Amino acid sequence: MKVQDNLTRIEQEIQSACKKKNRSRSEIKIIAVTKYVTPERAREAMNAGIDNFGENRPEGLLAKQEVLGDKPVWHFIGSLQSRKVKTIIDKVDYIHSLDRLSLAEEIQKRANKQIKCFVQVNSSGEASKHGLSPAEVIHFIHALKSFDKIQVVGLMTMAPNTDDEVILRECFRTLKELRDQIENLKLDYAPCHELSMGMSNDFGIAIEEGSTMVRIGTALVGE
Ligand SMILES: *Cc1c(COP(=O)(O)O)cnc(C)c1O
């Protein structure tokens, strides 16, 4: 499958979710998740007009960036070991997986500019998922006040791998409610306007529930 053909289908689904909820298409960004594919395939996505790319491992990010250059916007979306922060910190525009204070401390120590971060939330409660529990999030946001290298641009979650719409919507709504609460605090270090949620299986539902960034791998570039 050509990336362009996949993108056309994804675009149709995004448009129809927007229409259903009376949202503007311009509120939503597609992040191409290229972790399963070669740099050449990632380049095909860039040529199809994608300008945001996500990788979940430092090595993968560096390998793709070597080929695609720094024209795209780069997102680190995987769980991040503190000792790996220094290898990616000057290479990324966004980190989607801020989930603990020790990681915030390492980012603060290594960053040469302010880094746009998403706080990762385990909205499903699955033991296998990374992220803070919803009940911990507000406290964590307050604790980030002293880190001037971190700007909290939004919240991120991974929903369970299920086709059960009720479960998916519940996770996405939990994230949106938390986002709204934090946004209402009007903290200058945590504007928190964005919702990074929705993957190949559930991006349409995520957009109906308010997503502003969908992270799409398989459905866009293949496995
Ligand atoms: C792999 C991955 C995705 C994309 O998954 P697909 O189901 O292939 O679209 C999105 N977000 C994160 C954090 C991932 O690790």
Atom 5 of ligand 1, nearest CA residue: 217
Which pair of structure tokens corresponds to residue 185? 């605090």
Could you tell me if the CB of 78 is within 6 A of ligand 1?
A: yes
Could you tell me if the CB of 218 is within 6 A of ligand 1?
A: yes
Strand ranges, E, within the chain: 29-33, 52-55, 73-76, 94-98, 115-120, 150-156, 194-196, 213-216
CB atoms within 10 A of CB 153: 22
Q: Is the dihedral of CA 104, 108, 110, 113 positive or negative?
A: positive
Q: pLDDT, tens digit, for every residue of 198-210?
A: 999 999 999 999 9
When the pLDDT of each residue in the chain is averaged and rounded to a whole number, the result is 97
Query: Any bridge partners for residue 196, and if so which?
Result: 156, 213
Q: Is the pLDDT of residue 95 over 90?
A: yes
The Cα–Cα gap between 121 and 99 comes to 7
> What does the pLDDT read at residue 156?
98
Q: pLDDT, tens digit, for every residue of 53-93?
A: 999 999 999 999 999 998 999 999 999 999 999 999 999 99
Mutation probe of ligand 1 site: the residue of 30, 35, 203 with most atoms within 8 A of C-beta:
35
Q: Is the pLDDT of residue 223 over 90?
A: no
Question: Which residues have a Cβ under 8 Å from the Cβ of 54 and sit 6 or more positions away?
Answer: 31, 32, 33, 34, 35, 74, 75, 76, 77, 96, 215
Atom 10 of ligand 1, nearest CA residue: 215
The answer to whether the CB of 119 falls within 8 A of the CB of 155 is yes
Query: Any bridge partners for residue 86, and if so which?
Result: none
| Half-sphere exposure for 101 (CA within 13 Å, toward CB) | 10
pTM beyond cutoff 0.85 = yes
> What does the pLDDT read at residue 19?
98
Could you tell me if the CB of 200 is within 6 A of ligand 1?
A: yes
Q: Is the pLDDT of residue 138 over 90?
A: yes
